[in-house]
Structure 1
Amino acid sequence: MICAPPMKEQKPLVLDSEFKQTQQEDVEQILLRALGDSGHTQLANVVCDYSDGRIVLSGRVTSYYLKQLAQEIVRKVEATAAVENRLRVVVPK
């Protein structure tokens, strides 16, 4: 009796672009959590975009200290990424 060889279990096909998007979202969530956990409420409102090993910070803060702090927090979390700090300092009147 001849039997067919057992079939290998096939894994679902995941497109590279879908994997990259999921990975980007995961990194962004980690960065946002780190900023939110910093103890500075303004940093919880910073927007982080991560793409191709580059982090872009945007939004508004009320001091240059907070702008620099946000940059250093994300740099510690994702040390290999380049950080572009587009945060605007808006001093309250």
Structure 2
Amino acid sequence: MDNKQRVLAAMFQSSGYAELGKLEIDFTEHGRVLVLRGRVSSYYIKQRAQEIGKLMEGVQQIVNKLGVVVRMPLAETGRRS
């Protein structure tokens, strides 16, 4: 993990959204393009990850490849125990 990745990982971990600390972070094109990969639980958190990434100095583009996996409570899935 290079310095930019460490800095962004620390920003994600201090964001208050624990799941952001588990994302895969890549910088390409000499650090100008940030690529985010992984899964999050809502579109809001996906957007927050992108907004936090915009705070990184030198980043000109963000490729947000985060998948949103919404887990429904058992009562809403129709399953019974």
Relative contact order, higher structure (CA 8 A, sep 6+): 2
Structure 1 unaligned blocks of 5 or more: 1-23
Q: Percent identity?
A: 36
Please say which structure displays the higher CA radius of gyration. 1
How far apart, CA to CA, are the structure 2 residues paired with 1:27 and 1:49?
9
Q: Which of 56, 60, 69 is the equivalent residue of 1:77?
A: 56
Aligned match of 1:12: none
How far apart, CA to CA, are the structure 1 residues paired with 2:59 and 2:34?
10
Structure 2 unaligned blocks of 5 or more: 73-81
Aligned match of 1:32: 9
Aligned match of 2:19: 42
The alpha-carbon deviation at position 77 of structure 1 amounts to: 2.1
How far apart, CA to CA, are the structure 2 residues paired with 1:65 and 1:79?
24
RMSD: 1.4
Counting matched residue pairs gives 70
Does the residue aligned with 2:55 lie in a helix, a strand or coil?
A: helix
